[in-house]
A and B are shown apart, each in its own frame.
Chain A
Amino acid sequence: MIFNSPALSYSLLAPILIILAGALIGVLIEAFVGKARRPVVQLSVALGSLVLALVQVIRIRNLSSTTAAMGSVVIDGPGLLFQCAILIVAVISIFLIADQDNFTSSAAALPGSDEERQATQSGTVLTEIYPLTLFAVAGMLLFPIASDLITLFVALEVLSLPLYLMAGLSRHRRLASQEAALKYFLLGAFSSAFFLFGAAYLYGYAGTVSFAGIHAALVGGTGNDVILLLGIAFVAIGLLFKVGAVPFHAWSPDVYQGAPTPITGFMAAATKVAAFGAMLRLFYTVLAEAQWQWRPFFMVIAIITMIFGSLVAISQRDVKRMLAYSSIAHAGFLLTGVIALNKAGLEASIYYLFAYGVATVGAFGIVTLVRDSSGEVSDLNRWAGLGKRSPWVASAFAFFLLAFAGIPLTSGFIGKFAIFSAAYESGATAVVIVGVLSSVIAAFFYIRVIVLMFFTDATEDGTSVVIPSILTRLTILISLVITVALGVFPSPLLDFIKPLAIFIR
């Protein structure tokens, strides 16, 4: 028996490997470094590995390969762009995560118990969050470049499992946080089962789990269509769940609200990039020839998602839930990019994902700042008058909201324009019109928050804005600068994306 050593192309996989290494070092640090020094060391390691990975991604940006890791992954332009976006979002988020006030000091302790109180008083901080984040990032990096169903599934789980845990680590309102974790986990597992089942059918149809093989089978057109369609449908359900498309969205408001805010921000932004990355690859490269079967379904889902997200967001009273519904609506907008199924759609989606991700982290960063004595205040009514007390914080939040609403001169506008024009180009006029109309509805609730912050007088209670730590400040500032820059001068990024945004099979 001849044993070929696998050709792994380490340099191409390096970003993922670096992150994984960082994560493992993090685990070791938990074991060997003293409590007092852990936070700084962990942060340095996490940040270092993220930056290193980012540098590596940029270094290999012009390479492409279909054979890395024995064909389990594809290294191509879009994949690297997604990785770039994920890493940048992660870097920004890590500053936010480093602001430890948000996390419970002892995840194992009962909420409200003496044990918990002691841990908090002794200044114990939760540093496990860093390796967890890095593991999730590793999964996310793998997700959009996976090129067979096994890798895709493994990546899905690698990115999900740490997030399930991280969702339960909030310092305040711990019961809610744990509930969020439970819901996220159960529903996530449920949807993974769908995904896996769909994957089985795709395998059954094509006789192979590799994307290239499935594509070849599809082009050959010999297999059983019902099996193919069931496969596509169930795999899609798994992915649509991750991006929060209606009717697979139900977890997101609850989880967004319950999870620690920095995690919500990270999850909302990075997961979306990763999941859409995988979805775009799957549907653009593998299943494009079956578009007549799946596009109608996607159109319906996109339309429902945009309208539902926008409508329900209007009546939200909690800022995190409101942002959750907003992210559902944005999932709908992003789905139009999948529907577009053309190069413009791919470029637009990448741009949109990046712009949206950055703004999201920034917005959640601001949410962490608004507090009263018992912690974060996400009740919108108590945000009233924020503009008077902390004009800069409120203005920054307003700016992010305007970006979400797609007002010109913010990054959101360029993204929306690009993605809608791509969808229109592909003939999905109805989706574009619904998208435009639901943008109006969406604008309504963003504006409502702005009104609340700027034009409504504060209630008597003591909601205040904490002076942001340098790290949080960094998060918000970087997000803000990127959001403005992408709104006014989107060209550099667009030009960067353009030559790279070509999938290879």
Chain B
Amino acid sequence: MNSANYLYLSALLFTIGAVGVVIRRNAIVVFMCVELMLNAANLSFVTFSRINGNLDGQIVAFFTMVVAACEVVVGLAIIVTIYRSRRSASVDDANLLKR
């Protein structure tokens, strides 16, 4: 199978994730969309790793997973805190700071 197709898939996933970030309101979902984007990037890395014939890309993918995990820790902490204070996880409710 043509490995370019994986790239298209990755781009598609990335776009879906990015659009998701823009249109979804729930902070958790938004965050999941970001994760989707990260994984789209991972897919690209792996694909390019295959195309280029070296393993660097795959190593990066592992790093990404670790980093993403860290991000989840921090992110969830923040989201939970704000959910506790506001009783809402909608990103649209957090609108004190503007202009």
Measured CB to CB, the residues of A under 8 A from B are 107-108, 110-111, 149-150, 153-154, 157, 161, 164-165, 168, 174-176, 178-183, 185-186, 189-190, 192-194, 196-197, 199-201, 203-204, 207-209, 253-254, 257-258, 321
- Residue in chain B with minimal CB distance to A213: B56
- Is the beta-carbon distance between B70 and A199 smaller than 8 angstroms? no
Q: Which of B4-42 contact A (CB under 8 A)?
A: 7, 10, 14, 17-18, 21, 27, 30-31, 34, 37-38, 40-42
The complex places the Cα of A133 from the Cα of B52 at a distance, in Å, of 39
The complex places the Cα of A154 from the Cα of B71 at a distance, in Å, of 11
With A164-B78, A179-B96 known as contacts, the answer to whether A186 contacts B91 (CB < 8 A) is yes
- Is the beta-carbon distance between B97 and A165 smaller than 8 angstroms? no
- Is the beta-carbon distance between A174 and B63 smaller than 8 angstroms? no
- Is the beta-carbon distance between B45 and A203 smaller than 8 angstroms? yes
Query: A196 contacts which chain B residues (CB < 8 A)?
Result: 37-38, 41-42, 64
- Residue in chain B with minimal CB distance to A317: B99
The complex places the Cα of A461 from the Cα of B53 at a distance, in Å, of 70
- Is the beta-carbon distance between B30 and A186 smaller than 8 angstroms? yes
- Is the beta-carbon distance between B78 and A181 smaller than 8 angstroms? yes
Query: B94 contacts which chain A residues (CB < 8 A)?
Result: 178-179, 182-183
Q: What is the distance, in angstroms, from A72's C-beta to the closest C-beta of chain B?
A: 11
With A165-B77, A174-B85, A196-B64 known as contacts, the answer to whether A189 contacts B96 (CB < 8 A) is no
Measured CB to CB, the residues of B under 8 A from A are 7, 10, 14, 17-18, 21, 27, 30-31, 34, 37-38, 40-42, 44-45, 47-49, 51-54, 56-57, 59-60, 63-64, 67, 70-71, 74-75, 77-79, 81-82, 84-86, 91, 94-99
Query: A178 contacts which chain B residues (CB < 8 A)?
Result: 78, 81-82, 85, 94
- Contact partner of B60 (CB less than 8 A), chosen from A110, A174, A199, is A199
Query: B31 contacts which chain A residues (CB < 8 A)?
Result: 186, 189
- Is the beta-carbon distance between A193 and B44 smaller than 8 angstroms? no
Q: What is the distance, in angstroms, from A369's C-beta to the closest C-beta of chain B?
A: 22
With A176-B96, A208-B54 known as contacts, the answer to whether A197 contacts B41 (CB < 8 A) is yes
Q: What is the distance, in angstroms, from A433's C-beta to the closest C-beta of chain B?
A: 30
Number of A-B contacts defined by CB within 8 Å = 141
- The interface centre, meaning the residue of B10, B81, B95 with most chain A CB atoms within 10 A of its CB, is B81
With A176-B97, A196-B64, A203-B60 known as contacts, the answer to whether A185 contacts B37 (CB < 8 A) is no
- Is the beta-carbon distance between B44 and A161 smaller than 8 angstroms? no
Q: 8 closest A-B pairs (Cβ-Cβ)?
A: A204-B48, A193-B37, A200-B44, A207-B52, A254-B97, A196-B41, A179-B94, A197-B41
- Contact partner of B98 (CB less than 8 A), chosen from A168, A175, A254, is A254
The complex places the Cα of A179 from the Cα of B64 at a distance, in Å, of 26
- Is the beta-carbon distance between B78 and A168 smaller than 8 angstroms? yes
- Is the beta-carbon distance between A107 and B81 smaller than 8 angstroms? yes
- Is the beta-carbon distance between A168 and B63 smaller than 8 angstroms? no
- Is the beta-carbon distance between A164 and B74 smaller than 8 angstroms? yes
- Is the beta-carbon distance between B48 and A186 smaller than 8 angstroms? no
- Contact partner of A182 (CB less than 8 A), chosen from B7, B18, B78, B84, is B78
- Is the beta-carbon distance between B74 and A203 smaller than 8 angstroms? no
- Is the beta-carbon distance between A186 and B34 smaller than 8 angstroms? yes
- Residue in chain A with minimal CB distance to B64: A196
- Contact partner of A110 (CB less than 8 A), chosen from B54, B78, B85, is B85
The complex places the Cα of A204 from the Cα of B50 at a distance, in Å, of 10
- Is the beta-carbon distance between A193 and B85 smaller than 8 angstroms? no
- Is the beta-carbon distance between A204 and B52 smaller than 8 angstroms? yes
- Is the beta-carbon distance between A197 and B78 smaller than 8 angstroms? no
The complex places the Cα of A487 from the Cα of B76 at a distance, in Å, of 45
